[in-house]
Chains A and B, each alone.
Chain A
């Protein structure tokens, strides 16, 4: 640990990430491209900051992929996998088969040996789980049809790595040479095939069984020690252990942790596990992307520029074509097909492993393997760029059109209300307005939603509501009210500031998540902010009181009073928070704000009880009087 060069390497990697990722995000390029560029920057062909740790950085980084699959597994349930079975086997199988066959064919045709062609075909048929999933997640599209299908195909590829590894040595021109061993030491190599299979099945069985029945008591025990770092250690140990076991029996560690994740998806400690592993995954995945950037051999590329650039273009094009065809055959809409095809049109991280293995096994010449690696790395770099092009230029012009053909009878009719976001909140607003005959124009970024709404006769625009041109298209210049109902608080603020800047006449009604984003909107002069959980929480609390025997009318009034106070405090805090110590961390500030509210409430509550129905003072005056009367 005290080795200064090692610390220097960590420093270089972290600095590169910290500098380039925010910049890339700011430019709208996404974090993956940021990491890749950081890698290129510190790599041997630019600043040349990295020492001889490049290969180990890649290996450590690959562990991020393993963790990512564990996390993906945690979010899936066995029932969901079962639901995706058609996509996994059908689409995944078809993709792998078709791509491998096509690439093999082309290589054979261009004069490569059959062995080399077949090996390259399978190696290149794989896509990058790390890049595809990360980009889909960042774009919030993992849940869409295109995202789900991408995931299914990637899952199939992860499983397929195992037979491909077994297949590669068979292609060797010089079979049974000494160097032809698996890339990692494998304990069961020497066993006959049937017992290898048995061992593999047993290991998977143990993982499932232990995950199902063994882990809960362990987690409970650890949780009881109340040592947070111990829980972190156990979470890491779990992932590392599975990786080790899977490697020992020659299976893909990613597949193993994925299975473990799925098994643990119903575990009560699932969320703790997720939050423990998440930061490690993020860092390691970043490291992996940087390592890919570093590994791009620009010397090789410049000496064989024509060949490599041409190969990358042809490679991405073939992958895209196959994916596009599959997407259409399986009935995805055009938007999702485009997303799916661009997301998976690159080489995978397993390609690096497989090429080196193939080179060891003498299936590929080392020179050829280097070219292959360069092609894969460049194709990975191309993905974020292609996704960006898709998002900015292709999708807006085809598929679910942003400016959809309006129904013939209301060309040019603009509605006075615009609703941005048709998710959980927006759909309720929309339904209610429609039920009461209020026409509105809708904006959403989910093409499935947009298609559905158009079918139902709504006026819908597809795209990012924070863009002024889209707001103009949806009639913002003549509309009166803009309802912002999107999920993401940052997006809400972005939309609000666009609207403020370009359409100051628009009344803004904004959904917010909590205090922080509400403050920001109020600061912008937007008074109508609606914290999306406030009313539901108050209604739940009210029902608790009513079920405990309080009068429902009194509870309703108490709720109104509480709400009024709360809204009042929110606005008061907006002004106050600027005077506060700017360095108080946000979370701390929230706690402080809550504390202040609780103190104020203690004083205020009871001040405005329903005086109209309070008879205390009357009893004082008339009660006495009437006694004399009687």
Chain B
């Protein structure tokens, strides 16, 4: 049996982390988890002055890239866009000679204030599913020759209590460990809508 350890880079973006409830719990302990690099973008780059070379070096050192962020206006917080614009440059991330990210795995870990029921094609004020709304990230991964996986989602954070959040934290961290220990079946996972549907007991 082959045992391969994968390195995970969690790119975390939350402009008002000090006020967040769910993400504070979800993130707790990530910086100490073996095989995981927790990278708090707003803390490191409060003025958005992203160090491209450092970021590219980080990406090269990891096998799984996670965008962990609240789902603001159907996308990530502003610094994530800034990060994409500055770090994922032509000739490095994509294009003829841009192979730096080739074969790496990618997924989003997001929190939404509203419940899952909000994000439906026939919804009252929403017309798209989470997967549809995440298309730009999926396309980014594809463009950079990365393998895109369904997102880990915590819905309805506004109404979660302390116990719920601790449970979500446990699940999230367990998934990260699965990725790290290379115990994910990529073909099986790719067929799912959310990472949350992947059976943990396996």
A→B interface (CB under 8 Å): 550-556, 610, 613-615, 618-619, 622-624, 626-627, 629-630
Contact = CB atoms under 8 A, between A and B. Distances in A.
Given A619-B158, A627-B159, A630-B156, A551 B17 contact: yes
Given A551-B43, A556-B46, A613-B19, 7 more contacts: A550-B18, A552-B42, A556-B47, A610-B16, A613-B15, A618-B113, A619-B113
7 contacts: A551-B46, A552-B46, A553-B42, A619-B159, A626-B115, A629-B117, A630-B156
A623 B158 contact: yes
A615 B115 CA distance: 15
B114 interface: yes
B33 to A, nearest CB: 21
9 tightest A-B CB contacts, nearest first: A613-B16, A623-B158, A553-B42, A552-B46, A553-B46, A556-B46, A626-B115, A619-B158, A623-B159
B156 A551 contact: no
Interface centre among B18, B115, B158 (most CB of A within 10 A): B158
A557 B28 CA distance: 24
Given A614-B16, A618-B113, A551 B42 contact: yes
Interface of B: 15-19, 42-44, 46-47, 113-115, 117, 156, 158-159
B43 A630 contact: no
A624 B156 CA distance: 11
Contacts of A623: 158-159
Contacts of B158: 615, 618-619, 622-623, 626
A561 to B, nearest CB: 14
A277 B17 CA distance: 55
Contacts of A610: 15-16
B114 A622 contact: yes
Contacts of B114: 622, 626
B148 to A, nearest CB: 28
Contact of A554 (B16, B44, B115): B16
Given A615-B113, A629-B115, A630-B115, A551 B18 contact: yes
Nearest to B157: A615
Contacts of A630: 115, 156, 159
A552 B18 contact: no
Contacts of B115: 626, 629-630
A629 to B, nearest CB: 5
Contacts of A551: 17-18, 42-43, 46
Contacts of A552: 42-44, 46
Contacts of A615: 19, 113, 158
A285 B159 CA distance: 79
A623 B158 CA distance: 5
A630 B15 CA distance: 29
A408 B46 CA distance: 46
Nearest to B17: A551
A39 B43 CA distance: 67
Contacts of B19: 613-615
A627 B117 CA distance: 12
Given A610-B15, A614-B16, A555 B159 contact: no
A567 B156 CA distance: 42
A99 B18 CA distance: 75
Give the one of B17, B19, B42 with max A CB within 10 A: B19
B45 to A, nearest CB: 8
Contacts of A626: 114-115, 156, 158-159
Contacts of A624: 159
Give the one of A613, A614, A624, A629 with max B CB within 10 A.
A613
A550 B16 CA distance: 11
Nearest to B44: A552
A554 B15 CA distance: 8
A551 B159 CA distance: 25
B73 to A, nearest CB: 10
Contacts of B46: 551-553, 555-556
Contacts of A622: 113-114, 158-159
A615 B113 CA distance: 9
Contacts of B16: 554, 610, 613-614
Nearest to A610: B16
B17 to A, nearest CB: 6
A622 to B, nearest CB: 5
Contacts of A629: 115, 117
A535 to B, nearest CB: 13
B15 A553 contact: yes
Nearest to B47: A556
Contacts of A555: 46
A615 B15 CA distance: 13
A267 B44 CA distance: 42
A614 B44 CA distance: 22
Question: Which of A553, A615, A626, A630 neighbours the largest number of chain B CB atoms within 10 Å of its CB?
Answer: A553
B18 A554 contact: yes
Contacts of A627: 159
A200 B156 CA distance: 89
Contacts of B18: 550-551, 554
Contacts of B156: 626, 630
A551 B41 CA distance: 11
A417 B1 CA distance: 71
Nearest to A627: B159
A46 B158 CA distance: 92
Contacts of B44: 552
